[in-house]
Amino acid sequence: MSGISKPETMKNLALAFGLLLTVPTIMIGQEATAPIEIQEEPKVSKRLTRMTETLQLTPTQVDQVRSIHKNYKPHLENARIIEDKAKKKEAIFALKNAELQEVKQILSPEQLPLLEEHLAKQKAVKVRGGARKAAETQDAE
């Protein structure tokens, strides 16, 4: 793997899932106060619009995806403040993967291949971008 031992990986996953279980409990206790209007970030709105177009989401599915994202947002924010880079990366990966699995559950059988194709394209772009950055770094040296 990436130099992380299996017990360390399990410990990190346990931490990520612990965050998943702890934050909602804390948030439930805070619901008694006046509701805070959370505006959707432009990046989220753009991503949701792209998903809607690519996967031809129904209005109900759009609301479900928005809700799933809202549920994971505080967990991801907590994971992003982890100081150890490897643990942070692993926690974020676990949370994003769990979020993706929830989104997949609301998709129709016809939409799943479209999602997989979209994810493959995104991964290819990311890989090309990483290769370009590596080449630029070597050129700078």
Q: How confident is the model over 35-76, as pLDDT tens digits?
A: 434 445 566 678 888 889 999 999 999 999 999 999 999 999
For residue 37, give the 3-state DSSP assignment: coil
Q: Phi-psi category of 49—alpha, beta or left, where left has phi over 0 and alpha has psi -120 to 50? A: alpha
In a domain, 120, yes or no: no
| Highest mean pLDDT (candidates 8-22, 71-85, 122-136) | 71-85
Q: Among 120, 105, 99, 126, which Cα is nearest to 54's?
A: 120
Looking at the domain assignment, is residue 18 inside a domain?
yes
The confidence band for 32, taking pLDDT boundaries of 50, 70 and 90, is very low
Residue 102 reports pLDDT greater than 80: yes
pLDDT at 123: 86
Indicate whether 141 belongs to any domain: no
Query: So what's the pLDDT on residue 26?
Result: 54
Q: Tell me the pTM.
A: 0.59
The verdict on residue 53 lying in a domain is no
Q: Is residue 25 domain-resident?
A: yes
pLDDT value at position 64?
95
Please state the rounded mean pLDDT for residues 26-38: 47
Structural domain count of the chain: 1
The DSSP letter of residue 38 is P
pLDDT band for position 92 (50/70/90)? very high
Q: What single DSSP character describes residue 40? A: P
Could you tell me if residue 131 is inside a domain?
Answer: no
Residue 117 included in any domain: no
Band of pLDDT at residue 33, cut at 50, 70 and 90? very low
- In a domain, residue 138? The reply is no
- Residue-level pLDDT at 47: 83
Domain housing 73: 6-40+58-107
CA angle centred on 26, ends 22 and 29, rounded to 5°: 145
Instruction: List alpha helices for 35-110, DSSP H.
Output: 42-55, 59-80, 85-106
